[in-house]
Chain A
Amino acid sequence: MWNWIVAILSDPNTRWILLGCLLLGFSSGIIGSFTFLRRQSLMGDTLAHAALPGICIAFMLTETKSVGLFLFGALVAGIVATFGISWITRYSRIKQDAAMGIVLTVFFGIGVVMLTRIQHGASGSQSGLDKYLFGQAASMVMTDVYVMGGVCLVLLIACLAWFKEFKLVSFDPGFARGMGLPVGMLEQLILLLTVIAVVAGIQAVGVVLVAALLVTPAAAARCWTDSLSLMVLLAGVFGALSGATGTIFSTLVPNLPTGPVTVLAATVLFAGSALLAPRRGLLARRLRSLQAKSAYLREEHATLQTLSAQRAQQERGEL
């Protein structure tokens, strides 16, 4: 096992991919914590699907496959999608979940139409565009890792700079508004950061699964702690761990795509956390309820005994 890992690390290409996935997992875990607390976990899924037409338009306009351009296209599409969702929920009686579903599928449908147009148009250089559906970290090159690093840096700095504000908006938007914070703008900012994380993640894990990078590490981290700063850090570490696991396993086993393995690693981390976490874990809770039950029984037993002793005394006294 150790030899394998050394062998993997000695391959420079794999090293870049590993670094990229680590950074990606770390940054999406961090921003995912905020979306998780704001109960918008599925926003990541919606934004990822909605990014497809953006990517296709960017390709159709420029006929080149550059990650930066795709990022830009996806970013624009993601912003349009978030506005669409808030517009639908504000101006009609359709609830947020249905609005998200509508935007997700309609944007994705339009994206599929464009994708097939491009493929039938056959300009030759379009091959590999469909890699965005399931992701292929193995195709990452050094420049992609630079982009990934830049994205990660931006997310980190933003989260550090506005940590207090994001915290307040996540837990109590009403209070934040009362304090005079620009809540609407901060919410849009969190969404924008989510879009950036999602778009960066699409290349590695694909459209369908990128949502997991946001939700699952955050949910796992939530099991361990009640403090936001610790949770954000833990979510980042969990995300980075799953990214690394995904990369290593998919290089070891042929035909194994990176994205699904990363997601499964994150899920395993989540399941472990949900079971074993000291206070909120399933085992701990079960144990606590057992303890409480036995303590209650013991107490009741003791009171019963004293009662019966008293009664016996009384009876003897009467006799």
Chain B
Amino acid sequence: MATFWIILTAILVSSACAILGCFLILRRMALVGDAISHAVLPGIAIAFLWSGSRDSLWMLLGATVFGLLTVFFIQSLQAGGLSSDASIGIVFTALFAVGVILISLNAAHIDLDLDCVLFGEIAYVQWDTLTLGGTDVGPRAVWMLGITLLVILLVIGLFYKQFKLCAFDPALAAACGIPVVLFHYLLMGLVSMTSVASFESVGSILVVGMLIVPAATAYLLTDRLGKMILYSVLVGAASSVGGYIMAYALDASIAGCMVAVAGILFVLALLLSPKHGIVFRYARRKFAAR
């Protein structure tokens, strides 16, 4: 049963991340995802101090607020003439530092391990269960991630056309009358929600891995957005299962193994993708030269 819950959690994390990651990659904002997943830390710490419990709802709220704040800060620094990479670097390190200070100053009140913040501990998922009306209905993380995934599917499904246009051609989208800024913040809100929901199970840095790596792998395999999302989810799921097996074999961190397997899949796609892979492109060039 434990294996089932762990793999289910991992697949939920990777699917939620994979869907959003496609849009991040296309909008060239992969590192904004990185920034958000770090910068939600003070939100989580404040929610902890405020509510005094590990109540997921408060954490979700606090972190989403901080995620949006991050995006806002980055954008205002950019508007002030700073390059995008520098503004990302300044904002996320500052917010992460605030989070670490808050946690280490209140170490007595917050039972949040700093190592856990970075790696998460997906193996403990099964112990933290949710009880509804006296009956045990399964791990809390699964519920939280399930709801997050549902919200993502709902929002992206409803506004698929708008998100697609914003991803490929924001100027055209603005000209068509789509509120580009609103959709930008909506996407960023979803990213922060996902990074919090996945936080406890895979940790902040490996959330970034699940956001970027499967989506980049899918980006190498296809030119259509719909297919890209599908492939990205499949790659994410494959790395979840593969990661669990690898972690079991090596007796090491599950989240780390998941990202490592995703990395292996990425390298395979980089080499062997039929259209954009290095091997086939090289072969085609040789063939054409002859």
Contact = CB atoms under 8 A, between A and B. Distances in A.
A113 B118 contact: no
B260 A216 contact: no
A167 interface: no
B206 A105 contact: yes
B96 interface: yes
B interface, over-half SS = helix
Interface stretch (B23-31, B160-168, B180-188): B23-31
Nearest to B108: A255
Given A42-B88, A257-B104, A106 B208 contact: no
B235 to A, nearest CB: 12
A45 interface: yes
B219 A94 contact: yes
Contact of B250 (A100, A115, A117): A117
Contact of B278 (A92, A117, A270): A92
Contact of B208 (A92, A104, A263, A274): A104
A40 B253 contact: no
Given A109-B259, A112-B253, A212 B90 contact: yes
Contact of A215 (B25, B38, B86, B118): B86
Contact of B251 (A88, A120, A208, A274): A120
A216 B87 CA distance: 9
A74 B266 CA distance: 23
Interface in A38-85: 39-42, 44-45, 49
Which of A41, A91, A112: most chain B Cβ within 10 A? Answer: A112
B101 A94 contact: no
B205 A105 contact: yes
Contacts, number: 197
B89 A97 contact: no
Nearest to A130: B115
A93 interface: yes
Given A92-B220, A256-B105, A263-B97, A105 B253 contact: no
Contact of A134 (B25, B114, B208, B258): B114
Which of A253, A261, A267: most chain B Cβ within 10 A? Answer: A267
Contacts of A45: 34, 89
A173 interface: no
Given A101-B33, A102-B213, A130-B115, A264 B104 contact: no
A49 B93 CA distance: 14
Interface in B233-285: 247, 250-253, 255-260, 262-263, 266, 270, 276, 278
B101 A116 contact: no
Which of B93, B205, B219: most chain A Cβ within 10 A? Answer: B93
19 contacts: A36-B86, A42-B31, A92-B278, A98-B216, A101-B34, A104-B34, A105-B205, A106-B209, A112-B253, A112-B255, A113-B260, A116-B252, A117-B251, A133-B114, A134-B114, A215-B86, A219-B82, A257-B104, A260-B96
Interface of B: 25, 28-31, 33-34, 38, 80-83, 85-86, 88-90, 93-94, 96-98, 100-101, 104-105, 107, 114-115, 118-119, 205-206, 208-209, 211-213, 216, 219-220, 247, 250-253, 255-260, 262-263, 266, 270, 276, 278
